[in-house]
Amino acid sequence: MSAAAAPAGLFDCRDAYVRTVEELAVQDDRIVAVVNDSVGSSKLGKFRDRFPDRLVNVGIAEQNMVGVGAGLANGGKIPFVSGASCFLSARALEQIKADCAYSHANVKLCGISSGVAYGELGATHHSIEDVAWLRAIDRLTVIVPADPWQTAEAIKAAAAHDGPVYIRISRMPVPELARTDAIFHIGKAERLRAGTDIAIITNGTLVHHAVSAAQKLEAAGISAQVINMATVSPIDTEMLAQAAATGAIVTAEEGLAHGGLGGAMAEYCATHSPVPMRMLGFPGFLPTGSAQWLMDRFGLNADGIMAAAHDLLKVKAR
């Protein structure tokens, strides 16, 4: 499925991904790519042309693809294994668990076109369960970057990290976020806005919507902090504690409302600092429709986040 050019001011994170992998490959001949007949959707055409002997296309065989990646890692390579996240995470879940995580194979799993980016293709192509599934696997790092800069930094960090990593890379156009402290570390969250009344914790394609929601809340006299929790596993418990100190938390993610980022936050709060929460995400099986229609229908936008915050603040005030 080809994608149209992103509108002005918006960017496709796949471009940052492939550019960074190619830059790393120039510097380190251990960098290789493994794909499942997805050179086009992963945008690895230039990588294949520049490094024809360092790209393995296994065809539509995700379990084999992850196994090949693990074998290359065991041979001293640093494989970036790329495929549509709905198929990479679901079809190869056992291989991700056993061959990568439990075996501590140095594989970098890149779930392309995550969430509901393939909306019109229906439920088989929705990738809304991947974060919930994969953060449940011990010894697997899970990262959901928010924009091109963070995608590039996550790829660099993953390459330098000793162990398996899953990086969720969207094809949905997003803006570059405004930052005052542009530093990315695995396991460390990024506070984009300070606030004392409520915390909005989010990642991926929802981050810029959360910032917009916080700006609207500020106009209404509500101080909302925004936390970009790009690393879901291991999660930044210090930042979670600071968020809980506001007494109200909204989580928002382009995935299941339970089990992923929202689930991780709820687990922390239940055992450390109970506070009222609202977890925004998809409820489960979804209808067919464009990504934008699906996001709007389930309140995964600035207005939906703002409405959840207003509702939660009423609970907090009781």
Pairing of strands 249-256, 277-282: parallel
Residue 297, number of CB atoms within 10 A of its CB: 14
How many angstroms separate the CA atoms of 13 and 15, rounded?
Answer: 5
Mean pLDDT to the nearest integer, 119-144: 95
For residue 5, the model assigns a pLDDT of: 63
As a residue count, the chain comes to 318
Residue 275: pLDDT band with limits 50, 70, 90: very high
Structure tokens belonging to residue 258: 């339970």
Between the two ends of the chain, the Cα-to-Cα distance in Å is 50
Residue 4: pLDDT band with limits 50, 70, 90: low
106-118 pLDDT per residue, tens:
999 999 999 999 9
Which of 247, 252, 251, 262 lies closest to 315, judged by CA? Answer: 247
Mean pLDDT to the nearest integer, 130-139: 97
Residue 42: pLDDT band with limits 50, 70, 90: confident
- Phi, psi (deg, nearest 5) at residue 275: -140, 155
**Distinct helix (H) and strand (E) counts, the chain:** 12, 12
Q: Is 236 helix (H, G, I), strand (E, B) or coil?
A: coil
Structure tokens belonging to residue 153: 């930094």
DSSP 121: G
For residue 1, the model assigns a pLDDT of: 40
177-194 pLDDT per residue, tens:
988 778 899 999 999 999
Angle at 94 between CA 90 and CA 100, to 5 degrees: 110
208-248 pLDDT per residue, tens:
999 999 999 999 999 999 999 999 999 999 999 999 999 99
Residue 222, number of CB atoms within 10 A of its CB: 17
For residue 8, the model assigns a pLDDT of: 72
Pairing of strands 231-233, 224-228: unpaired
Amino acid at site 228: N
Which of 235, 229, 233 lies closest to 250, judged by CA? Answer: 229
How many angstroms separate the CA atoms of 11 and 177, rounded?
Answer: 11
Q: Is 166 helix (H, G, I), strand (E, B) or coil?
A: strand
Average pLDDT, the chain: 95
